[in-house]
Chain A
Amino acid sequence: MTQAEELALMKSKPLQLFKMYLAQLEEGTPLDEAQTAKFEYLKKLFIKDEED
């Protein structure tokens, strides 16, 4: 999937992309820089910490 396709998916179906990144990490494949930026945003969307 290209960066542009991932960006579009992040806007339209963020949970799907979040799950895709989690699966990628579970497989042991690190995220690249662009994926890391998107993953950090998706974490804020789907994982609430105490300060939230």
Chain B
Amino acid sequence: MSFISLSDYSNKVVIGGQTHSSTFRKTTTVVTTAGVWFDGSNMSGHPVTNFYASTPLKAEYLLAREGIQHGSNVSSDQKHLKRVTAMCSVAPVNLLFIDSLLYYPFIDGDSTDEQVFDNTNSLTRETTGVGVNAYVVAQGTYIGGAEFFITYTNQAGVSGRTSKLCRSNLATTAGTIISSGASSGAMSNAWFIPLADGDTGIRSVQSFTFLSANGGIFALVLCKDLGNLSIREANVPAEKDFLIDTGLNMPIIPDGAYLSFLVLPNASIASAPIYGNIQTTWG
């Protein structure tokens, strides 16, 4: 089910109370780099800090109760992200809200061997892989500068696909998404790893390879992009109402989603908390 009209929405949400609100407040002592994406789940505060701490190279899930709270399971209804609000004493800052689907921890940044992943666990949401992207986050400090790629199974179930080549940035700090940022030079990329031509998503990742030693340890994360929010002014709340601002196109939040955000700061956000709230609705 979902909402079939504004009247239906009003009946279910305004009259029926099918809505949930929660808050978040995340901060880091790490000096972040302008123009380099950072993993908000790695920041302390609430929800709890996520360390991607599980069996090395084995696909693992994050628990919904440890992410930003979006309410209990609603199946067979459909839950939507209705509104997000956030502020920070540093601006501008872009937030990208995501559902983290699966991760592979403790990739060795000093190894140039092909590091093969254990896919005993597979996607439980977005199971075809359509629209699923991957990023690499530092679990500790690193040197950077090395090129890397992944091999994966795409959204059509075709295995043996190889990503475009990426180069680690030189930000060096834990929580940094290493494929992003200006210091990556000619192979500068966004937060996600660019896929082979024609592919629109990732169903699973088979291996990760550094072409030279990069230093550090890393987690590869598969996630679904839900929507973004730009904080344009310091200490001023920014708000996006997906119902109104995106033409009724509210992102879908599946049951069990681990809701988090990635941060793109324009200056260091060390000790500058990002706090706000979200509202979800279902029907």
State the majority secondary structure of interface residues on A. helix
Assess A34 versus B139: contact at CB under 8 Å? Given A3-B215, A41-B54, A44-B54. Answer: yes
Which chain B positions have C-beta within 8 A of A44?
53-54
* B51 close to A7 (CB less than 8 A): no
Q: Which residues of B contact A4 (CB under 8 A)?
A: 108-111
- The answer to whether A38 touches B141 (Cβ under 8 A) is no
Q: Give the docked Cα–Cα distance between A33 and B57 (Å).
A: 19
Check if A34 sits within 8 Å of B56, measured CB to CB: no
Which of A3, A10, A37, A39: most chain B Cβ within 10 A? A37
Most buried by B among A10, A36, A39: A36
Does A48 reach chain B (CB closer than 8 Å)?
no
Cβ-closest chain B residue relative to A35: B140
Contact assessment for A34 and B105 in the assembled complex, using a CB-CB cutoff below 8 Å = no
Interface residues on A, range: 10 to 19
Query: Which of B52, B55, B106, B109 gathers most chain A CB within 10 Å?
Result: B106
The digit string for B39-63, where 1 denotes a CB below 8 A from any CB of A, is 0000000000001111110000000
14 pairs of residues in contact across A and B, judged by CB atoms under 8 Å: A2-B110, A3-B110, A3-B216, A7-B106, A10-B56, A32-B140, A33-B173, A34-B174, A37-B105, A37-B174, A37-B217, A40-B53, A41-B53, A41-B54
